[in-house]
Structure 1
Amino acid sequence: MIKKIILVLFVTFFNFNSFATPTKIMVRAKAKDAKFIGNSIGGAYIIIRNQRTGEILSQGKTKGGTGDTSLIMKTPRERNINITDDKTSGFLAELDISEPVFVSIEVFAPINKKQATVSGSTTLWIIPGKDILGDGIIIEIPGFVIDILTPRTHQFISLKSIEEKSISIQSNIVMMCGCTISDGGLWDANQIEVKGILKKDGTKIQEIPLKVSSPNLFEGSINVDSTGNYELIVYAYHPKTGNTGVDKVNYIITP
């Protein structure tokens, strides 16, 4: 009886492994109007699921560089010409499947910037033994990464200490791949609308334009004449691409 059970288990195992075929899938996250999301900004997180059952088939972070700027941003795109190489950021999944599987691919990026993380997804059939390599599956990630540098979160600022009743706003803004935004650069700061929206005790009181002062750094100033709880919202908007980004900070003006 034991020998029969062992034989059945062996045959089952053998048959499963005879049909399961390793299948490689390359998944990449690309910032809209920019380059690939890689190590320099913490990467993107990829989850591949069986669309019918919800089972996670593979997951992990993209690794590698942002790619060749000239090839991605300046070279006219021709059919069947790759825009990536073996150093370009991506996540290589290897699935053991015995029949075609309809999968969903979810991307969260950039994974280390929680206030800026955007998700993107697609669905497709994966066929056993039919690898998807090269550029692979590219999922576009729109937006900007914005970090308000000043004022700081929950900073207490004395009204008496504020010179000329004005405090400065500083905000660091980059593309979702970390690519540099600068005055007249490839990602031109002058084409991006950047503003601060100031609220006091929940009520909007000011809009403040922010201008680029050095690569990625946008600055402005806030007029302050009273104490209270303040919230500052900084947004960026590029009308040509539709890219947007937001960060928020709360601070307190004391007597």
Structure 2
Amino acid sequence: MRKHILSLSLLLICMNVFATETKLMVRAKAKDAKFVGSSIGGAHVIVRNTLNGQIMAEGNTTGSTGNTDLIMKSAHERYTQLSDNSTAGFLAVVDIDEPTFVSVEVLSPINKKNARVQASTQLWLIPGKDILGDGVVLEIPGYVVEILKPNTHQYIALESIPKSGLPIEANIVMMCGCPIEKEGVWDSGLMEVRAIVKKDGEPYAEVQLDNPAQNTFQGILGITTTGYYQITVYAYGAQTGNTGVDMVNYVVRD
């Protein structure tokens, strides 16, 4: 028994001796925007051995969203590096003793469940052959849409609703948290933002939401009767194909 344990220990030691530390930089980048980093809570990264499903490395991207002028305003030639040492990423460090085929999965942004996107790819890791710089960059399409008014499951007295109507308000940002505003880098004038309203399960109204301030989209819904209401706010960018949705239910009572 002792000889068996000793042999196993020696085998494990030998495996560790031959294993080579290998680094893989993983980044999540919002479509038509910047990198997903600490300002929005990061993207969650999982690196797995595709052969057996073993998790080899796991963690969140941290750091800044990157250089706006370089990423969004400059022409990019081949081999142009878009990141620097402060740009958000997750450095996976694995020990491998032979070429290993891995899957890289990203959940982003990790703290925004209604907007979270799963993106993945696969590649070979070669012992000692680091993949750094921009590394593996996974694109995250969409917008983060959060309805602020009315609140989820809010009970609203009909008599309390202004004659002008019920305010609808949503906060919308890029998937990296980058700001949206009129004539900004991410121009709200190029987006369509509307609220689709149902009452008691039936179509009731549609309301266009305007952008009076950075990230803020507002509209007014005329309501004259009580009932169970549902508001779905969507954002759509025709040029990029980015989309985002949030939904709330509320009650208008006597």
Q: Quote the Cα distance in structure 1 between the aligned partners of 2:248 and 2:10.
A: 62
Residue in 2 that maps onto 1:133: 132
Structure 2 unaligned spans of 5+? none
The structural deviation recorded for 1:7 is 5.0
Contact 2:168/2:219 (CA < 8 Å) preserved in 1? yes
The structural deviation recorded for 1:83 is 0.5
Q: Quote the Cα distance in structure 2 between the aligned partners of 1:5 and 1:169.
A: 71
Q: Quote the Cα distance in structure 2 between the aligned partners of 1:223 and 1:9.
A: 75
Q: What amino acid maps onto 1:153 in structure 2?
A: T
State whether structure 2 residue 249 is matched by structure 1 residue 230: no
**For this pair of structures, how many residues does the alignment match?**
254
Residue in 1 that maps onto 2:201: 202
Q: Quote the Cα distance in structure 1 between the aligned partners of 2:126 and 2:253.
A: 64
SS class of match (1:33): coil
State whether structure 2 residue 169 is matched by structure 1 residue 170: yes
State whether structure 2 residue 52 is matched by structure 1 residue 46: no
Q: Quote the Cα distance in structure 2 between the aligned partners of 1:81 and 1:247.
A: 36
Contact 1:194/1:234 (CA < 8 Å) preserved in 2? yes
Residue in 2 that maps onto 1:70: 69
Q: What amino acid maps onto 1:95 in structure 2?
A: V
Q: Quote the Cα distance in structure 2 between the aligned partners of 1:111 and 1:250.
A: 24
Structure 1 unaligned spans of 5+? none
Residue in 1 that maps onto 2:251: 252
Residue in 2 that maps onto 1:105: 104
Q: Quote the Cα distance in structure 2 between the aligned partners of 1:34 and 1:110.
A: 13
Q: Quote the Cα distance in structure 2 between the aligned partners of 1:106 and 1:117.
A: 13
Q: What amino acid maps onto 1:88 in structure 2?
A: T
Q: Quote the Cα distance in structure 2 between the aligned partners of 1:45 and 1:143.
A: 17
Q: Quote the Cα distance in structure 1 between the aligned partners of 2:25 and 2:74.
A: 23
State whether structure 2 residue 83 is matched by structure 1 residue 84: yes
Q: Which digits, 9 at most, give the CA deviation of each residue in 1:49-75, with x for residues without a partner?
A: 111211111111001000000011111
Q: Percent identity, aligned pairs only?
A: 54
Residue in 1 that maps onto 2:242: 243
Misfit runs of 4+, over 6 Å: none
Under a length normalisation based on structure 2, what TM-score does the superposition of the two structures give? Answer: 0.97
SS class of match (2:10): helix
Q: What amino acid maps onto 1:184 in structure 2?
A: E
Q: What amino acid maps onto 2:156 in structure 1?
A: I
Under a length normalisation based on structure 1, what TM-score does the superposition of the two structures give? Answer: 0.97
Residue in 1 that maps onto 2:216: 217
Q: Quote the Cα distance in structure 2 between the aligned partners of 1:200 and 1:55.
A: 48
Q: Quote the Cα distance in structure 2 between the aligned partners of 1:14 and 1:250.
A: 59
Q: Quote the Cα distance in structure 1 between the aligned partners of 2:244 and 2:189.
A: 16
SS class of match (2:246): strand
- 1:114-133 alignment runs, 5 A limit: 114-133=113-132
The structural deviation recorded for 1:165 is 5.6
